[in-house]
Amino acid sequence: MNDPTGEAAMTHFKLLIDGALTDGARTMDVINPATGEAFETCPVADEAQLDAAVAAAVAAFPAWSALPIGERAARIAALADALQARADAFARLLTAEQGKPGNQAKMEVIGAVFTLRAFAAMRLEPHVIRDDDKARIIEVRRPLGVVGAILPWNFPVILLMNKLAPALLAGNTLVAKPAPTTPLTTLLFGTLCAEILPPGVVNIICDENDLGGALSAHPGIAKVSFTGSTATGKKVMQAAAATLKRITLELGGNDAAIILDDADPIETARKIFQGAMANAGQVCIAIKRAYVPEAIYDVFCEELARLATAAVVDDGAKQGAQIGPVQNAAQYERLKTLLDESAREGKVIAGGAALDRPGFFIAPTIVRDVTDDARIVREEQFGPVLPVLSYTDLDDAVARANASEFGLGGSVWGTDLDRATDIALRLQSGTAWVNQHMALSPTVPFRGAKQSGVGGELGLEGLHEYTQAMIVNVARG
């Protein structure tokens, strides 16, 4: 986008700093992944604006944390109402910047509304540890201070709420930083925060992938809540170490689905396809490997290939699109390289290449006869690509599923629920599902095992992560 007036800093999207909707130090283009073209500009903060955002959050903390929790909950519920009232506008903007089909964008926005409401209904009650004639010992939950929220580009709306709602309810204030390629829905949400919250309680800055380190190291920030890749999560942990900040890291995954021999191959293949291809596979808890008994391997693979070939891949803004583009050029290039390798390491039975059209479209791809050491199996693809592996021995399949540095989710599929649950209990992951995958709820804790994360989000435990537990120990008699 050229700038004939020279007013590069002017854009109708604004940062939110200390309650004021503010221009950035400069602007950047935001690309629509369905076209590969810029469709908007976005304000970009410099380090001074990051400092101003943190200072505003520090200044807002005493009054916000002193409010009764019910009053904070009422503001969070008001944010939910405002987001719901504008759900269609948010969904359209989400599709434009992220790429997902309109119905999935609407589901994300409505999911975000539910998340806000679910946390607005939670409370932090004191926990009585001992209460007798010698002592009364209680544990209370205090807010931490300023929370830095750093977000990825796959679910920019709902992942923001997973952090913002518990952080605010507990009495913290917030500085949020969206991913550089999906900043606009976060900025639009900032306009609701500006109307509903006291100045400084929520601040939003955008960057060009250059302020995350400063945010993670900032002495004014008490906790960093990060969702993104494992590699960046390690940098956050390092940066946070200097001031021993609290951290929550929601990182990458390489979820395995183990299909048991009593599963219906056609019905299960359909569900596995959904679990692998939702959001064009760009889900931390997408199914990224499927282990299938040899006896049903061929029919299972054929059904997956049929579904992949039949799927409507198109601009998410078009009616009927089932799979949109991948979100950004870097991910698109990475996937093309991965697909080239896959063609050498296995048998591609559907897709296998980018679509010959503008935008970042990858054909839904199924790869069979591939070994566990292929890159497409070892690494998270984060795209519409599923490797399918066969097994003859169930213990061996479990061992192969667990042979990963990741441990986010996993699933087991079969008709004997007790047997499937026994196998699910053997998975080394934060969540194991039976006959479903990706089922999350704001009231159920979610966390990653191994290198998929530190700490967790959602549920009462997720709320507790935004607090300091404090013991009050009163002697009696």
Task: Give the shortest CB-274-to-ligand NAD separation in angstroms.
Answer: 18
Contacts to ligand NAD from residues 444-463, by CB under 6 A = 448, 453
The nearest distance, CB 31 to ligand NAD, in angstroms, is 14
CB of 395 to ligand NAD, least distance (A): 28
Among 69-77, 80-88, 125-133, 222-230, the segment contacting ligand NAD (CB under 6 A) = 222-230
For position 108 contacting ligand NAD by CB under 6 A, the verdict is no
CB of 203: closest distance to ligand NAD in angstroms? 15
How are beta strands 467-475 and 135-143 bridged, if at all? antiparallel
Alpha-carbon dihedral sign for residues 263, 375, 407, 250: negative
Q: Does 334 bind ligand NAD (CB under 6 A)?
A: no
Residues 160 to 179 in contact with ligand NAD, rule: CB under 6 A = 177, 179
Instruction: Give, in order, the Cα–Cα distances in Å from 127 to each of 37, 124, 443, 471.
Output: 54, 9, 19, 9
CB 407 within 8 A of CB 230: no
Binding mask 336-375 for ligand NAD (x = CB under 6 A): ----------------------------------------
- Convert residues 29-68 into a mask of x (bound to ligand NAD by CB under 6 A) and - (unbound): ----------------------------------------
Please report how close the Cβ of residue 104 comes to ligand NAD at its closest, in angstroms: 15
Rounded to an integer, what distance in angstroms lies between the CA atom of residue 390 and that of residue 365? 17
* 21-46 per-residue burial string, b: 16 or more CB within 10 A, e: under 16: bbbbeebbebbbbbbbeeebbbbbbe
Residues 6+ apart with CB under 8 A from 114: 442
Q: Does residue 24 interact with ligand NAD by CB under 6 A?
A: no
**E-state strands within 121-219:** 127-131, 135-143, 146-150, 173-177, 202-204
Which residue has 């040899």 as its token pair? 294
Stretch that binds ligand NAD, among 9-17, 126-134, 248-256, 393-401 (CB under 6 A): 248-256
Find the binder of ligand NAD among 284, 287, 377, 449 (CB under 6 A). Answer: 284
Q: Which residues pair with 137 in a beta bridge?
A: 130, 473
Q: Could you identify the residue written with the tokens 């709902």?
A: 158
Q: Does 184 bind ligand NAD (CB under 6 A)?
A: no
**Contact between 250 and ligand NAD per CB under 6 A:** yes
Stretch that binds ligand NAD, among 196-204, 225-233, 391-399, 462-470 (CB under 6 A): 225-233
Estimate to the nearest angstrom the gap between the alpha carbon of 465 and the chain centroid. 17
Does 251 contact ligand NAD by CB under 6 A?
Answer: yes
> Which residues in the 309-328 window bind ligand NAD by CB under 6 A?
none
Q: Which of 153, 291, 332, 361 touches ligand NAD (CB under 6 A)?
A: 153
**Interactions with ligand NAD, residue window 385-424 (CB under 6 A):** 408
**Count of residues engaged in binding ligand NAD, rule: CB under 6 A:** 28
Structural contact between residues 408 and 453, judged by C-beta atoms closer than 8 angstroms:
yes
Pick left, alpha or beta for residue 444 (phi over 0 → left; psi -120 to 50 → alpha; otherwise beta): beta
With a CB cutoff of 8 Å and minimum separation 6, the contacts of 70 are none
Pick one of 33, 111, 143, 152: the residue that binds ligand NAD (CB under 6 A). Answer: 152
Spatial contact of 300 and 388, defined as CB atoms under 8 Å apart: yes
Q: Which is nearer to ligand NAD, 175 or 260 (CB)?
A: 175
Beta-strand runs (E) in 403-466: 406-407, 410-413, 433-434, 446-447, 449-450, 453-454, 456-457
Minimum separation from the CB atom of position 135 to ligand NAD (A)? 40
Amino acid in position 361:
F
Q: Closest CB to ligand NAD among 73 and 94? A: 94
Q: Find the shortest distance in angstroms from Cβ 226 to ligand NAD.
A: 6
Backbone angles phi, psi at 257, to 5 degrees: -115, 125
Q: How far is the CB of 151 from ligand NAD (least distance, A)?
A: 5
Q: Is the Cβ–Cβ distance between 69 and 124 less than 8 Å? A: yes
Select the residue interacting with ligand NAD from 26, 142, 235, 270 (CB under 6 A). 235
Closer to ligand NAD by Cβ: residue 198 or 213: 213
Say which DSSP state 21 is in: E
229 binds ligand NAD (CB under 6 A): yes
Considering the rule CB under 6 A, would residue 111 count as an interface residue with ligand NAD?
no
Q: What SS3 string covers 138-163?
A: EEEEEECCEEEEECCCCCHHHHHHHH
Coil, helix or strand for 220?
coil
**Which of 442, 448 has the CB closer to ligand NAD?**
448
Q: Enumerate the active-site residues.
A: 250
Tell the smallest beta-carbon distance from residue 287 to ligand NAD (Å): 13
Catalog residues that contact ligand NAD under the rule CB under 6 A: 150-154, 177, 179-180, 209, 212-213, 216, 227-229, 232, 235-236, 250-253, 284, 380, 382, 408, 448, 453
